[in-house]
Amino acid sequence: MKTIRIMRRRLRIIMAAVLAIAGLAIPLSQVASAHTSAAASGEPKPSIVLVHGAWADSSSWDGVVSRLQRDGYTVYVPPNPLQGLSYDSAFLRDFLHSISGPIVLVGHSYGGAVITNAATGDGQVKALVYVDAFAPAQGQTIGQLVSSQPGSCVLPAANVTIVPFPGAPKDVADAYIKQSVFPSCMANGLPVGEARVLAATQRPLSTIALTQKSGVPAWKTIPSWAVIGTADHAIPPAALVAMAKQAHARITMLPGAPHLSMIYNPCAVTNVILKAVRATA
């Protein structure tokens, strides 16, 4: 009998322990559920849209894309038609409307003028990042801005090849940087072989892009950042700084970087993009 009483007592102790553990299980599951809900209700990561400039294509962003993707961001690099500011801005605006959620919009060189116009009034775009880029005010043209300071290598007619294209409006043609000039003009500081490939694969800019006036700038209402290479030969750094200040952008100077900062130092450019992401989260 004594043995039976001992066994019963042990059974009651075991049952009490089981019930206690079961009681703990509910709060623990609630905690896990709350954690999951909090994560699900958090702000989504923004999509990052990278816009290339003149005499380039989407591959100029490759080093930045790989870094952003490693950090878990969805990245888009749509082609910039390079057909003129009005057309290119409308093209990009339509592309942005195909994306759900917040966007950080990045433009290089002429692409900066495109994002300045395409993002105006777009509530999805939370930040603008200008990489060696034009940030025009209303009424300004690319031609005016690139010549606002001395020293641009794209201005001498001897450095440019003009090629007519079918159906072009009067006095409009495609402009290329001569391959012999491209490495020292656009890609100084890059390996010679890489600069030559970039020269050979460049896409032309329609000359109409130089004279079309910019509209109401998106940077009036959207926070902006700017990356400026101190060795930019295409757009004089002094002009880039003036435009960045005009746009109230947070400026990062990259010592020794050419006009192609995102190829020369993709890590630094990526870091500035991420600063914009964090600041606008």
Side-chain-facing half-sphere of 63: CA atoms under 13 Å: 13
Model confidence pLDDT, tens digit, residues 75-87:
999 999 999 999 9
- In the three-class reduction of DSSP (H, G, I as helix; E, B as strand; rest coil), residue 114 is classed as helix
Can you list the positions of beta strands (E) in the chain? 47-51, 75-76, 103-108, 125-131, 160-163, 174-177, 205-206, 224-229, 250-254
82 shares its domain with 215? yes
Instruction: Specify the CATH number for the domain of residue 243.
Output: 3.40.50.1820
Q: Cβ(118)–Cβ(94) under 8 Å?
A: no
31 shares its domain with 75? no
60 shares its domain with 160? yes
19 shares its domain with 87? no
Report which of residues 14 and 86 the model is more confident about: 86
Domain that holds residue 71: 47-279
Looking at the predicted structure, is the pLDDT value of residue 174 above 80? yes
Query: DSSP secondary-structure letter at 216?
Result: S
186 shares its domain with 144? yes
270 shares its domain with 220? yes
216 shares its domain with 99? yes
32 shares its domain with 159? no
122 shares its domain with 34? no
98 shares its domain with 161? yes
Model confidence pLDDT, tens digit, residues 41-76:
367 899 999 999 999 999 999 999 999 999 999 999
Distance of CA 111 to the CA centre of its chain: 10
Report which of residues 101 and 24 the model is more confident about: 101
Specify the number of domains making up the chain: 2
* pLDDT tier at 25, thresholds 50, 70, 90: very low
259 shares its domain with 144? yes
Pairing of strands 75-76, 224-229: unpaired
31 shares its domain with 71? no
